[in-house]
């Protein structure tokens, strides 16, 4: 059976160039970048080359790039790194209700540590109002964290506006850029953020590597304790091959960005329109404009999203629905609920996220499959709806 | 696939015989919801634990078949857990496994399976299905292993449900199934059977109900009441009618010269009525919401063997239809002990399962 992957917001395959960088690096660049000898020097050189590539993506100084193990660690380092400074003081922080669990869990932990947290709501379009953030700022606010692009619905948040508000108030501003990098242009200076998270496996680099932009002048207290690596911000022998792969992916995404994202937006629109035309009672979750180019999140009235995912998987199409955690206890998406969708509609939603490897033919095949599965499931469902 | 040896053996058997199968585990109850029921916060075994999912997934991986976990928690709570609690509070003894079969396994699950393109579902129940040309009905028979027969819990299955169900283990004994699992190299071959209600840890259903009340903010103090004898004399106190089932002896904490047993409970008055063993005998019962399986609803009295509990030896009886087609009366040849409202009355003709209903 042919299989087609439409879940790029969950993760991405390695780009061929990235694999070609990574594989030899694993074999050959094995020195510890802190060692004085030749092997260490080579490793250090490669690491710093990669750092410059990240700086190229972010339009920042290489010294402002910290390599970490992924998006989750980047978020944790940013959030705890700021909020845990000055622990004896009364502290307040602001974030939104639609952040990734890595951010929400970190803030939940901060609350347990005595920090007051305001969770700004979003409208039914899935976008936060900067004024809500402004109104929430207090004299003791130490951190604001708002994601650049949402992973489930793809909506983009008004980062520049919020950054300006944060700067005016003298509050540190972090943005989780995991789903934005590679999809929309990112310029850390133009955005005005103080901290910005990047994840490798969302931009065709491997899992286990990411980066955090930390603006010159901002101090983050360490999460991990050990050596003095990454300018004393993140100890641990550096994953040089990983960083090289991430650097390669970053440079390529920067190079391709405009043409690739235009291509993908057209495919996404084709997919979205195709499904809406072919399957009845389908609605789009979140604002249609103001989205990253590759994502569409749709609800299918009267159908369990879970059943659709399974049905499509059995036909060879990989998509996703809601959020899942490993215990098998699935909750409807907190993002969809925060936007005001009912539990039923949230559970009837699917996310399609396109990538470099998707083609028009694949999109057309997916539209067919979705229409077929939806029709089949709708035909079957009256049986149990009637009983219940 | 529950992660147990039975459903794992079913998967392996069907796969071996060349069927195109997909394994699913139903997530029915979040074991972490009532944390006070799990000592040391460790939730192991039984329903929907990570261990069970791991085992089921491992078996599916060994067989090389697609495997999914599906979440049916909402409906399970509405259709099985809440009625379970309501029945106890109403002074009856429920069978959640039958409700699960009727509304989840052979309903929601069956529909989902059909929805994703399956022709049939298969489970590890010890029961047999066959099609009888003469009557045009799907018939159910007990599993070959009398000690493991599960037809008692399946009395609610309808013809459309049976048409789309397979019970591959019906012709096997339990030891044969374990042997089969070993032969097929299944890692769960020696896994112990689950004996209890899947969502009640340690079989302590009273503790479950109390914990559920606390979670829902219901005050359990209001369930206290009196224990009285058959003449109404107060003998003691109880903490809630849901702690007692007909025929129960332990937990009464009432001093008496002879053994006393729960005869009935009257939840409206919060009373538990106790009596002597002889008081537990009944010569008739009425079954409601009758579901006929292997035969059409009889229009005249007929003989049958009746089980009033899973661990009951089916007793000879005459079944009498009533003016209400959904209710029948069963008159026992010999009085039966502890006929319990809320349990199932399942009618057999030898190993043929005629049908069943709920004991009024």
By Cβ distance, the residue of A314, A387, A388 closest to B22 is: A314
Condensed to tens digits (0 to 9), the pLDDT of residues A165-194 reads: 999 999 999 999 999 999 998 999 999 999
CA distance A173 to A373: 44
List B47, B48, B97, B100, catalytic entry:
B100
Q: Do B25 and A329 touch (CB under 8 A)?
A: no
DSSP string of B100-138, one letter each residue: HIIIIIIIIHHHHHHHTT-S-EE---SEEEEEETTTTEE
B125 to chain A, minimum CA–CA distance in Å?
A: 22
Find residue A298's DSSP bridge partners: A284, A350
Residue that is last in its domain, among A229, A253, A277: A253
pLDDT at B76 over 50: yes
Q: How is residue B304 written in tokens? A: 């049958």
Contact B67, B61 (CB under 8 A): yes
- What is the overall mean pLDDT for chain A? 93
- The reply to whether A130 and A245 lie within a common domain is yes
- The reply to whether A197 and A279 lie within a common domain is no
CA distance B255 to B241: 19
- The reply to whether A51 and A126 lie within a common domain is yes
Best probe of the B interface among A327, A375, A378, by most B CBs < 10 A, is A327
- The reply to whether A124 and A267 lie within a common domain is no
Condensed to tens digits (0 to 9), the pLDDT of residues B90-128 reads: 888 999 999 999 999 999 999 999 999 999 999 999 999
Length of chain A: 388
Q: Do A307 and B115 touch (CB under 8 A)?
A: yes
- The reply to whether A222 and A88 lie within a common domain is yes
B45 to chain A, minimum CA–CA distance in Å?
A: 13
- The reply to whether A344 and A245 lie within a common domain is no
Report the Cα B155 to chain-centroid distance in Å: 10
Q: Do A380 and B48 touch (CB under 8 A)?
A: no
Q: Do B32 and A329 touch (CB under 8 A)?
A: yes
Contact B352, B293 (CB under 8 A): no
List CB contacts (< 8 A) between A376 and chain B: 115, 117
Catalytic residue flag (residue B47): no
List CB contacts (< 8 A) between B48 and chain A: 328-329
List A27, A325, A329, A388, catalytic entry:
A325
The sign of the torsion formed by the CA atoms of A232, A233, A238, A241 equals negative
Residue A297 belongs to a domain with what CATH number? 3.90.1150.10
Condensed to tens digits (0 to 9), the pLDDT of residues B215-252 reads: 888 776 677 889 999 898 998 888 888 888 898 887 78
List the domains of chain B with CATH numbers: 5-124+168-203 (3.40.50.620), 220-275 (2.30.30.280), 280-359 (2.40.30.10)
- The reply to whether A218 and A137 lie within a common domain is yes
- The reply to whether A349 and A207 lie within a common domain is no
Contact B242, B218 (CB under 8 A): no
DSSP string of A256-272, one letter each residue: HHHHHHHHHHHHHHHHH
Residue that is last in its domain, among A221, A253, A285: A253
By Cβ distance, the residue of B108, B111, B115 closest to A311 is: B115
By Cβ distance, the residue of A313, A329, A380 closest to B30 is: A329
What domain range is A372 assigned to?
A: 4-11+257-387
Query: What angle, rounded to 10 degrees, do the helices at B5-16 and B174-183 form?
Result: 60
Catalytic residue flag (residue A325): yes
Q: Do B71 and A328 touch (CB under 8 A)?
A: yes
Residue with tokens 């379970």: B84
- The reply to whether A50 and A191 lie within a common domain is yes
If you count residue pairs, one on A and one on B, with CB atoms under 8 Å apart, how many are there? 62
pLDDT at A386 over 50: no
Q: Do A328 and B27 touch (CB under 8 A)?
A: yes
Segment A74-85 shows an average pLDDT of 97
Strand duo A349-353 + A295-300: pairing = antiparallel
- The reply to whether A142 and A127 lie within a common domain is yes
pTM value is 0.90
- The reply to whether A201 and A290 lie within a common domain is no
- Please tell me the predicted confidence (pLDDT) of residue A363: 98
Q: Do B50 and A388 touch (CB under 8 A)?
A: no
pLDDT cut 90: percent of chain A above it: 88
Q: What is the dihedral of CA B260, B265, B266, B272, to 10 degrees?
A: 40
Residue that is last in its domain, among A203, A220, A253: A253
Residue A47 belongs to a domain with what CATH number? 3.40.640.10
- Please tell me the predicted confidence (pLDDT) of residue A323: 54
B46 to chain A, minimum CA–CA distance in Å?
A: 14
Segment B65-80 shows an average pLDDT of 93
Give the chain A residue whose CA is nearest to the CA of B113: A307
Structural domains counted in chain A: 2
By Cβ distance, the residue of B50, B68, B107 closest to A384 is: B107
Around A77, how many Cα atoms within 13 Å sit in the side-chain half-sphere?
Answer: 31
- Please tell me the predicted confidence (pLDDT) of residue A383: 42
pLDDT at A385 over 70: no
Contact B48, B24 (CB under 8 A): no
List CB contacts (< 8 A) between A386 and chain B: none
- The reply to whether A210 and A291 lie within a common domain is no
């Amino acid at each position: 059976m042919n299989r087609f992957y439409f879940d790029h917001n969950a993760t991405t395959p390695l780009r061929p160039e990235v694999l070609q960088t990574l594989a030899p690096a694993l074999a050959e660049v094995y020195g510890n970048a802190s060692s004085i000898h030749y092997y260490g020097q080579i490793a250090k050189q490669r690491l710093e080359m990669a750092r410059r590539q990240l700086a190229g993506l972010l339009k920042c100084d290489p010294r402002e790039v910290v390599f970490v193990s992924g998006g989750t660690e980047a978020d944790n380092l940013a959030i705890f790194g700021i909020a845990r400074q000055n622990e004896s003081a009364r502290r307040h922080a602001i974030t939104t209700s639609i952040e990734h669990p890595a951010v929400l869990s970190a803030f939940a932990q901060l609350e347990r540590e005595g920090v007051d947290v305001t969770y700004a709501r979003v409208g039914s379009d899935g976008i936060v109002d900067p004024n809500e953030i402004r109104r929430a700022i207090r004299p003791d606010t130490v951190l604001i964290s708002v994601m650049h692009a949402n992973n489930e619905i793809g909506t983009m948040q008004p980062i520049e506006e919020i950054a300006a508000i944060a700067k005016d108030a003298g509050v540190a501003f972090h943005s989780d850029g995991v789903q934005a990098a590679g999809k929309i242009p990112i310029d850390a200076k133009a955005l005005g953020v103080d901290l910005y998270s990047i994840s490798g496996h969302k931009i065709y680099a491997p899992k286990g590597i990411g980066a955090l932009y930390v603006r010159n002048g901002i101090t983050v207290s360490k999460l991990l304790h050990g050596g003095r690596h990454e300018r004393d911000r993140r100890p641990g022998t550096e994953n040089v091959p990983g960083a090289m792969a991430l650097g390669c992916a970053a440079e390529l995404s920067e190079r391709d960005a405009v043409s690739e994202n235009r291509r993908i937006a057209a495919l996404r629109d084709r997919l979205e329109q195709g499904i809406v035309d072919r399957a009845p009672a389908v609605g789009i979750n979140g604002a249609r404009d103001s989205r990253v180019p590759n994502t569409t999140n749709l609800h299918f009235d009267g159908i369990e999203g879970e059943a659709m995912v399974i049905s499509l998987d059995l036909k060879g199409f990989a998509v996703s629905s809601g959020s899942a955690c490993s215990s098998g206890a699935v909750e409807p998406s907190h993002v969809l609920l925060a936007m005001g969708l009912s539990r039923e509609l949230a559970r009837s939603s699917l996310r399609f996220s396109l990538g470099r490897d998707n083609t028009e033919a694949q999109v057309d095949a997916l539209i067919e499959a979705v229409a077929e599965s939806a029709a089949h499931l709708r035909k079957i469902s009256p049986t149990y709806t009637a009983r219940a | 696939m529950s992660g147990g040896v039975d459903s794992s053996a079913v998967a392996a058997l069907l796969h071996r015989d060349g069927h195109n199968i997909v394994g699913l585990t139903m997530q029915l109850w979040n074991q972490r919801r009532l944390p006070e029921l799990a000592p040391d916060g460790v939730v192991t075994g039984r329903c929907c634990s990570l261990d069970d999912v791991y085992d089921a997934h491992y078996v599916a991986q060994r067989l090389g078949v697609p495997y999914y976990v599906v979440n049916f928690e909402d409906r399970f709570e509405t259709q099985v857990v809440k009625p379970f609690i309501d029945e106890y509070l109403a002074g009856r003894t429920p069978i959640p496994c039958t409700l699960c079969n009727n509304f989840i396994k052979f309903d929601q699950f069956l529909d989902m399976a059909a929805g994703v393109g399956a022709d049939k579902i298969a489970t590890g129940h010890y029961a047999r299905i066959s099609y009888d040309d003469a009557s045009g009905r799907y018939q159910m028979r007990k599993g070959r292993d009398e000690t493991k027969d599960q037809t008692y819990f399946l009395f609610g299955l309808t013809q459309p449900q049976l048409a789309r169900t397979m019970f591959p283990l019906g012709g096997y004994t339990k030891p044969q199934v374990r042997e089969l699992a070993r032969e097929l190299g299944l890692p769960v071959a020696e896994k112990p059977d689950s004996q209890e209600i899947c969502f009640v840890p340690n079989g302590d259903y009273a503790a479950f109900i109390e914990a559920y009340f606390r979670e829902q903010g219901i005050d359990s103090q209001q369930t206290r009441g009196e224990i009285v004898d058959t003449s109404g004399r107060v003998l003691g106190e109880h903490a809630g009618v849901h702690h007692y089932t007909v025929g129960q002896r332990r937990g009464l904490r009432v001093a008496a010269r002879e053994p006393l047993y729960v005869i009935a409970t009257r939840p409206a008055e919060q009373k538990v009525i106790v009596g002597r063993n002889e008081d537990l005998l009944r010569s008739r019962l009425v079954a409601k919401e009758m579901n006929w399986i292997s035969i059409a609803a009889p229009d005249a009295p007929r003989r049958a063997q009746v089980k009033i509990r899973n661990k009951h030896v089916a007793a000879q009886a005459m079944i009498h239809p009533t003016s209400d087609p959904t209710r029948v009366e069963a008159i026992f040849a010999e009085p039966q002990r502890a006929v319990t409202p809320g349990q199932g009355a399942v009618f057999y003709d030898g190993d043929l399962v005629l049908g069943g209903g709920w004991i009024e």
